[in-house]
A and B are shown apart, each in its own frame.
Chain A
Amino acid sequence: MSTASVPLPNWITYGLMPFLSLLTAFLISGGVVWFIGESPLDAVTLLLQGALGNGEGIGFTLYYATNFIFTGLSVAVAYHAGLFNIGSEGQAYLGGLGAALAALALDNYVPWYVTMPFAVLGSAAFGALWALIPAWLQAKRGSHIVITTIMFNFIGAALMVYLLVHVLIVPGKMAPETRVFLEGGQLPKLGWLIALFGGKIGAAPFNMSFLISLFMCFAVWLLIWRTKLGYEIRTLGANPTAAAYAGIPYVRTVMITMLISGGLAGMMALNPVLGASARLQVEFVGGAGFVGIAVSLMGRSHPLGIVLAAILFGILYQGGDALSFDMPKITRDMIVVIQGLVVLFAGALEYMYRPAIVRVWQRLGKA
């Protein structure tokens, strides 16, 4: 009999199995580090030191994690409806436009806490808008959403470059970016939060968006597991025929789900645009949309799992930077390899150890 249907306790499924996968990824990464002539132990120490060793490192780690929480939630919401949204990258990029327009319009007149809700709405609206056409094509025409959202990433990138080079650029400047927002268009740093734990935030761009992202985690949890809409989304994802049987409207549910997914991706822009650089720059998303796929996969599409996975990837990003700084042999590309291994083992091969664990579990149960 196959082992797939043997029930295991939650602490094994959600604790032990991801841990073993992660361990495997790090062991193989260690092998790679050793192969190029560095000490794996030193590398791990440097990585963790860089990511978690001081307040500034933690600030950077959580800054990156914030990006991944937003995009991870975006991918997860769509995934619950059985939709694979690969377009979080582009939706986040367009979200930046919404956020920046709010900041540019208001920063001169009002304090940040007045701008913030408009920026949140703007980023979410623009992100959702960018998911609207692929959603409509999927719902009405059956065009596969994976294909259309990928294509919309490219269209979005081209559109943003055009806008930044020709429309939003500051006259007389070379850099394709908007003007710097005044204080009324910036989200405050969360130095006090780091200070609470006795650290100093230093130059880390850790900001208000982190709290917004945690709030959205709660909101997504509420949506998926405590509302009728969430129930319909999960039914559609788990059994589309049963959804039709239950009278759950396919077109409407797909559209709403993708709008929410796109909106969450769009809100990711708050973090770098209003929280860190205080301006809209080209390619500010920097792959966070794609990392969101891995984060959602690893976090089992659950907000709590997504927060943990996002922090893990934050550690890899920030620690990886520190590592490549201190160990020149380990280049930025090496860090990408390590991240790739984590995705491979914790995401794609999540059930690799399951048969073995089931056998051990059954033997323990019999004894």
Chain B
Amino acid sequence: MSSNPSAAPAIQLIGIEKKFGAVHANKNINLTVAKGSIHGIIGENGAGKSTLMSILYGFYHADAGEIRVNGAPIRIPDSQAAINAGIGMVHQHFMLVENFSVLENVILGVEGGALLGKGVSEARSALKRLEADYGLEVDPDAIIEELPVGLQQRVEILKALYRGAEVLILDEPTGVLTPAEADHLFKILGVLRDQGKTILLITHKLREIMAITDTVSVMRRGEMVATRKTAETTVEELAELMVGRRVLLRVDKGPANPGDVVLSVRDLVVKDNRGVTMVDGVSFDVRAGEVVGIAGVAGNGQSELLEAITGIRKPTSGEILIHGQPVTGFDAARLRTLGLGHIPEDRHRMGLVLKFEESENSVLGYHRAPAYGKGMALDLNACREDAKRKIEKYDIRPPNCRLKTANFSGGNQQKIVVAREIENDPSLLVVGQPTRGVDIGAIEFIHRRLIAMRDAGKAVLLVSVELDEIRSLSDRILVMFAGHVVGEKSPETGEQTLGLMMAGIAA
């Protein structure tokens, strides 16, 4: 670690407070980040990490508290002020113009005048310098949308450095990266630190914290609960600090009792919207009474596989059978009548209509059923009664079926989806990222429900990028890499082995 203990800390947060209505997102946060260090901030989804960083980057204003940069108190009313103070941010979702070149993206907003010529040539030489200093190689004339995700992220880092960032905030930077790309990113971060930059790494992955940070701070429910030297802590201690109690890495469940094959996938090939083959000849079965988990780094074809099985995306070739009946190319409505339930990967984009009332979402996909109105009519009272039943059974809060869905928390929104899909009693339940952005209480609840479905003799197909979730829920694990199923393992298989398979290194 190259930090100089006598120098003022790069960032100091003192007594930061932030409330959103009734939600206390940040409670009296104190944080000191030493210059020239990599400081990890870890916490569950909803612990307040992103809010805190948004305050530091000027997206939100703290209700109270002070921010000091290099020892001097400053006000950060907007992101421009943050940039002026030498703070740069690499967002989880990249802020790049896809059809611009790397160079154009880097100078966007700092063109330096009405005419581009001078700014462009200055930026070109500046990029060369940054490349030499930090090993950040990118072709300045490449078009963003043609670059792989890892390089796009590098452009984001270049953008921040070009604007003179001394402190870099990275928000969940590895969520979209392959393990190899993530390793490369960590190497770059190491170089940046050695050159005196300060890095704030936001993540909920313990492995990353242990691999790269010097210091780690843990957030839980809006509070900063601990700060540790990474070298002096363990994964177990951090996990316990994050959750606030001993973590049950395993869900209590008995042995599976597999029955007949419910879902059969044969030589399935699926292309994405750009025409790239994302699923390349995948075959597997899911039996009644078992949970089959599909592990893999995001973007290796799991999403397209799910969409093909659930009737949202037409497969290019191959066959899908439910209870032995060919259903390839059926639309989602038809598949539901055949006993398919689908908890989608992204509830905002797919599983819910956020501006609808809760009761309207609790029938989405099943709205044509006679129970919700005869013939053409939609019986709102029937929908609301039905919604009230689900709200009570799944403890959805607030218990108000007339409330706009957008006003529910992430965990409760997910419960709305889970309740809808499970209560329609499917014989095959297809689940994608069931606990993404969901608080710990809801995670356990959802996990228990999924196991209860299995025990009731339903077939469950689970896709998740969280290896822990896959291992604790599944009876069999299929690993996907680059559109192929590269192997089947038992859930007892070590994380190491599965991780290597996910990286395409071992089969």
Contacts and interface: CB of A to CB of B under 8 A. Distances in A.
Contacts of B333: 246-249
Interface in A212-239: 226-232, 234-235, 238-239
A238 B365 contact: no
A26 B377 CA distance: 43
B312 A244 contact: yes
B332 interface: yes
A323 B383 CA distance: 52
- Could you tell me the dominant secondary structure of chain A's interface residues? helix
B332 A1 contact: no
B367 interface: yes
A220 to B, nearest CB: 14
B344 interface: yes
A228 B407 CA distance: 24
Interface string B328-340: 0001111110000
Contact of A1 (B61, B344, B350, B365): B61
A242 interface: yes
A273 B336 CA distance: 49
Contacts, number: 73
Interface string B159-183: 0000000000000000000000000
Residue of A1, A230, A231, A238 with most partner-chain B CB within 10 A = A231
Given A241-B349, A244-B332, A235 B364 contact: yes
B349 A226 contact: no
B192 interface: no
A228 B311 contact: no
Given A1-B61, A239-B353, A239-B354, A247 B365 contact: yes
A245 B310 CA distance: 8
B353 A227 contact: no
B335 A247 contact: yes
B489 interface: no
A227 B377 contact: yes
B53 interface: no
Residue of B353, B372, B380 with most partner-chain A CB within 10 A = B353
B342 interface: yes
B353 to A, nearest CB: 5
A244 B349 CA distance: 11
Interface residues of B, number: 34
A228 to B, nearest CB: 5
Interface residues of A, number: 21
A242 B353 contact: yes
Residue of B342, B364, B377, B380 with most partner-chain A CB within 10 A = B364
A248 B378 CA distance: 15
B298 to A, nearest CB: 18
Residue of A7, A228, A247, A249 with most partner-chain B CB within 10 A = A247
Contacts of A227: 376-378
Contact of A242 (B334, B335, B364): B364
Nearest to A249: B331
A228 B373 contact: yes
A238 B376 contact: no
Contacts of A1: 20, 60-61
Contacts of A247: 311, 331-336, 365
Nearest to A239: B353
A269 to B, nearest CB: 27
B331 A242 contact: no
Given A1-B20, A245-B312, A246-B364, A226 B378 contact: yes
Contact of B367 (A7, A226, A228, A239): A228
Nearest to A243: B353
B367 A231 contact: yes
Contacts of B378: 226-228, 230-231
B231 to A, nearest CB: 38
A242 B368 contact: no
Contacts of A228: 367-368, 372-373, 376-378
Contacts of A235: 353, 356, 364
Interface string A233-270: 01100110110111111000000000000000000000
B453 to A, nearest CB: 20
B213 to A, nearest CB: 30
Interface of B: 20, 60-61, 310-312, 331-336, 342, 344, 349-356, 360, 364-365, 367-368, 372-373, 376-378, 380, 407
Given A235-B353, A245-B342, 8 more contacts: A228-B377, A228-B378, A230-B378, A238-B354, A242-B364, A245-B310, A245-B312, A245-B364
